[in-house]
């Protein structure tokens, strides 16, 4: 019975959200101190030596310090500022062909050696129940190296007051523009991760991430109706510069219906637009159900990619390791082996990577010390590969790991997690405004909404933030109560046009859950605006009471 700690943001059905909180509360200024690399190496060597001496054939050690700062605001008030720190060591070993893992927050040589010996003891016990020994794809030691998220402004150096004032200014802008209520948040993460293994790697990484979501709610008490519009930002693997709101990073959505953002975000401008949109939603036309051509913006499509391509191509799901929780996958090994499984139309090229700057998945090395890379998952519509870690590579004939192992904490064991999985831009020149011209009866969807998919990733249903009717080649009025429902293979085979690289950008998820006990991961998904033809749209309006 895992008693997870959550921060409850908002109450009630309108905007309730539970976010996991790790670590202990500390002062903001304490976040700027760091443990010297030489000290980390010395501690890592203690673990490697203790494990080897106890009989391990392989050992890796992860020394982690995880810092989070969450700022939560409601209307014109700061509700909560939380600074947390969690530090400790996780030791993973292979002994007698089985894994063992132990973790401790006792960062003394004795504490760490003890954890290493405990990991070996657990591996010996697990070996008795093991039918297939662990086979790790080879990794060449890289010696002592370091990597850091490329950032311009470290969020830890920006005063809390300045950040809180920015959120309150956004809330005020939303309320002035028509929202009855606003809620905005700033999630900031710094992970100081040191990895060492008996392969001869000592990797020091400093990772930064940030997310600034908000929600604007408009209420019409006379009719009893309420509607919300969430922010259109994306979580990023960047520093505080993401909130610089540079002019050159703003683009217009098709038909000029919204302002969208690329490398930086104007939260005040978006909040103002959200206040207007939320109010407009109260009287928007309710959609007529039926088949439509959908034009999906990257701010929306990222989540559809995540659920319908990202998760089903995780090799551990395909093999059945997640059967009891997240589920298995329709993208079975026989489909991949056939080399002709039409996952999508020939326009569909999906690439996995952990190298795109600014993305949530971007690191130099994964949590098994594998240098990160980029590889094809779907090529010209055909399933060509999966996401594999060191112990899985041999199952699909790979000589090396894909470098997508991750643990959300020093205290949890690393396992296969989704890298960035992205739809490549169209090869023909095409802008969103040009795409609209060819659509007779369609809906343009911007931003993510409700999402649900079955445990093998066939049947899904997605909502959105903003919906606009497309009629005879023009973006028209706002629609409401829209959700589309499809089957993964049918949907991707209905992909009929993709805008070119000028329109390509990423969306992402900050709290992606998997595993038991559950672990949270972060992942980005890129795409350009994309058209899917003849998709089933349902009307979600209901009356109660």
Partner 1 sequence: MTILTQEQTKHICDRALSFSKADECSVAVTGSRNGNIRFARNQVSTAGLADDTSISVTVAFGKRQGTAVINEFDDKSLEKVVRRAEDLARLAPENPEFMPAVAKQDYKASQTFSAKTAAIDPDFRAQTAAYAIEACKKNKLVAAGFFTDGTSFSSVANSNGVYGHQEQTGLDFTCTVRTEDGRGSGWVKRSATDANRFDAREAADVAIEKALRSVDAKALEPGRYTVILEPAATSELLGYMLFGFDARQTDEGRSFLSKKGGASRLGDKLFDQQVNIWADPWNPDVPVLPWDTDNLIARKRMDLIKDGRVNALNYSQYWARKKGVQPTATPGNIIMAGTDKSTAELIASTKKGVLVTRTWYIRMVDPQSVLLTGLTRDGTFYIENGKIKYPIKNFRFNESPVTMLNNIEEIGKPVVIGGDEVPFQMLIPPMKVRDFNFTSLSDAV
Size of the site for partner 1 (CB under 8 A): 84
Query: What is Dmax (Cα atoms) for the chain?
Result: 74
- CB burial of residue 280 (10 Å; 0-12, 13-18, 19+): middle
Q: Is 337 in the site for partner 1 (CB under 8 A)?
A: no
Closest CA to 198 of 50, 392, 404, 393: 50
Q: Is 32 in the site for partner 1 (CB under 8 A)?
A: no
Q: Is 38 in the site for partner 1 (CB under 8 A)?
A: no
Q: Is 338 in the site for partner 1 (CB under 8 A)?
A: no
Three-state SS letters, 345-360: CCCCCEEEECCCCECC
Q: Pick the closer one to partner 1 by CB: 27 or 38.
A: 27
Q: What distances in angstroms separate CA 240 from CA 151, 212, 243, 536, one per listed residue?
A: 8, 10, 6, 40
What is the crossing angle of helices 267-281 and 160-176, to 10°? 30
Q: Is 13 in the site for partner 1 (CB under 8 A)?
A: yes
Give the shortest CB-433-to-partner 1 separation in angstroms.
Answer: 30
Q: Pick the closer one to partner 1 by CB: 291 or 325.
A: 325
Q: Is 441 in the site for partner 1 (CB under 8 A)?
A: no
Give the shortest CB-164-to-partner 1 separation in angstroms.
Answer: 6
**Checking phi first, is residue 457 left (phi over 0); if not, alpha (psi -120 to 50) or beta?**
left
Q: Half-sphere exposure of residue 336, counting CA atoms within 13 Å on the CB side?
A: 21
Give the shortest CB-20-to-partner 1 separation in angstroms.
Answer: 12
Three-state SS letters, 85-128: EEEEEEEEEEECCEEEEEEECCCCHHHHHHHHHHHHHHHHHHHC
CB atoms within 10 A of CB 332: 15
Q: What track of x and - describes contact with partner 1 for positions 150 through 189 (by CB under 8 A)?
A: ----------xx--x---------------xx--------
143, 223, 340, 397: which one binds partner 1 (CB under 8 A): 223
Residues 285-324 that bind partner 1 (CB under 8 A): 319-324
Q: Pick the closer one to partner 1 by CB: 11 or 38.
A: 11
**Checking phi first, is residue 276 left (phi over 0); if not, alpha (psi -120 to 50) or beta?**
alpha
Give the shortest CB-171-to-partner 1 separation in angstroms.
Answer: 13
Give the shortest CB-237-to-partner 1 separation in angstroms.
Answer: 26
Residues 49-78 that bind partner 1 (CB under 8 A): 77-78
Residues 74-133 that bind partner 1 (CB under 8 A): 77-79, 81-82, 99, 101, 103, 105, 122, 125-126, 129-131
Give the shortest CB-184-to-partner 1 separation in angstroms.
Answer: 14
Whole-angstrom distance, CA of residue 537 vs CA of residue 293:
10
Whole-angstrom distance, CA of residue 101 vs CA of residue 121:
9
Whole-angstrom distance, CA of residue 87 vs CA of residue 355:
26
Identify which range of 1-9, 107-115, 422-430, 520-528 contacts partner 1 by CB under 8 A: 1-9
Identify which range of 139-147, 261-269, 338-346, 449-457 contacts partner 1 by CB under 8 A: 449-457
Q: What is the DSSP string of 419-435?
A: -EEEEPPPSS---HHHH
Q: Pick the closer one to partner 1 by CB: 311 or 354.
A: 311
Closest CA to 196 of 46, 62, 43: 62
Residues 479-498 that bind partner 1 (CB under 8 A): 481, 483, 485, 487
Q: Pick the closer one to partner 1 by CB: 181 or 444.
A: 181
The residue count of the chain comes to: 545
Locate the DSSP E strands across 168-213: 181-197, 201-211
Q: Pick the closer one to partner 1 by CB: 242 or 462.
A: 462
Q: What track of x and - describes contact with partner 1 for positions 499 through 528 (by CB under 8 A)?
A: -----------------xx-----------
Whole-angstrom distance, CA of residue 260 vs CA of residue 322:
36
End-to-end CA distance of the chain: 37
Q: Pick the closer one to partner 1 by CB: 90 or 358.
A: 90
Q: Pick the closer one to partner 1 by CB: 262 or 540.
A: 540
Give the shortest CB-517-to-partner 1 separation in angstroms.
Answer: 6
Residues 345-404 that bind partner 1 (CB under 8 A): none
209, 390, 457, 505: which one binds partner 1 (CB under 8 A): 457
Give the shortest CB-398-to-partner 1 separation in angstroms.
Answer: 20
Give the shortest CB-411-to-partner 1 separation in angstroms.
Answer: 7
Nearest-10 Cα torsion for 525, 530, 536, 541: 70
Give the shortest CB-461-to-partner 1 separation in angstroms.
Answer: 5
């Amino acid at each position: 019975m895992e008693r997870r700690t959550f921060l409850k943001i908002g109450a009630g059905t309108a905007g309730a959200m539970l976010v996991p909180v790790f670590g202990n509360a500390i002062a903001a200024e304490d976040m700027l101190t760091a443990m010297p690399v030489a000290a980390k190496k010395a501690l890592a060597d203690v673990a490697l030596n203790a494990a080897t001496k106890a009989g391990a054939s392989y050992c890796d050690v992860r020394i982690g310090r995880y810092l989070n700062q969450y700022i939560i605001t409601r209307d014109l008030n700061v509700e909560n500022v939380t600074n947390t720190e969690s530090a400790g060591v996780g030791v993973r070993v292979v002994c007698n062909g089985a894994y063992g893992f132990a973790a401790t927050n006792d960062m003394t040589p004795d504490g760490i050696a003890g954890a290493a010996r405990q990991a070996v003891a657990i591996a010996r016990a697990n070996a008795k129940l093991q039918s297939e020994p662990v086979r790790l794809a080879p990794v060449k030691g890289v010696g002592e190296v370091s990597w850091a998220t490329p950032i311009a402004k470290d969020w830890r150096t920006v005063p809390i007051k300045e950040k809180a004032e920015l959120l309150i200014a956004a809330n005020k802008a939303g309320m002035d523009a028509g929202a009855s209520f606003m809620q905005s948040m700033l999630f900031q993460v710094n992970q100081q991760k040191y990895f060492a293994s008996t392969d001869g790697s000592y990797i020091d990484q400093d990772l930064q991430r940030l997310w600034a979501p908000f929600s604007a709610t408009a209420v019409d008490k006379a009719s009893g109706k309420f509607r919300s519009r969430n922010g259109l930002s994306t979580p990023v693997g960047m520093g505080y510069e993401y909130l610089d709101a540079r002019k050159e990073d703003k683009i217009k959505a098709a038909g000029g219906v919204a302002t969208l953002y690329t490398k930086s975000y104007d939260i005040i401008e978006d909040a103002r637009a959200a206040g207007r949109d939320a109010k407009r939603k109260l009287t928007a036309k309710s959609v007529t159900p039926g088949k439509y051509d959908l034009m999906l913006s990257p701010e929306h499509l990222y989540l559809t990619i995540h659920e319908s391509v990202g998760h089903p191509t995780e090799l551990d799901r395909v093999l059945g390791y997640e059967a009891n929780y997240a589920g298995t996958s329709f993208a079975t090994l026989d489909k991949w082996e056939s080399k002709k499984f039409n996952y999508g139309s020939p326009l569909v090229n999906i690439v996995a990577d952990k190298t795109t700057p600014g993305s949530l998945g971007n690191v130099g090395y994964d949590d098994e010390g594998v240098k990160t890379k980029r590889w094809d998952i779907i090529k010209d519509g055909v399933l060509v590969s999966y996401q594999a870690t060191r112990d899985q590579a041999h199952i699909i004939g790979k000589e090396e790991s894909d470098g997508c192992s991750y643990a959300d904490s020093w205290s949890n064991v690393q396992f296969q997690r989704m890298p960035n999985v992205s739809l490549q831009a169209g090869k023909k020149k095409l802008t969103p405004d040009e795409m609209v011209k060819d659509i007779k009866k369609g809906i343009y969807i911007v931003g993510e909404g409700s999402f649900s998919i079955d445990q093998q990733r066939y049947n899904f249903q997605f909502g959105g933030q903003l919906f606009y009717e497309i009629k005879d080649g023009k973006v028209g009025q706002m629609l409401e109560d829209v959700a589309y429902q499809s089957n993964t293979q049918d949907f991707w085979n209905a992909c009929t046009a993709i805008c070119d690289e000028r329109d390509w950008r990423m969306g992402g998820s900050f709290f992606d859950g998997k595993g038991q006990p559950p672990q949270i991961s972060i992942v980005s998904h890129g795409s350009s605006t994309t058209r899917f033809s003849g998709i089933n749209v349902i009307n979600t309006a209901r009356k109660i009471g």
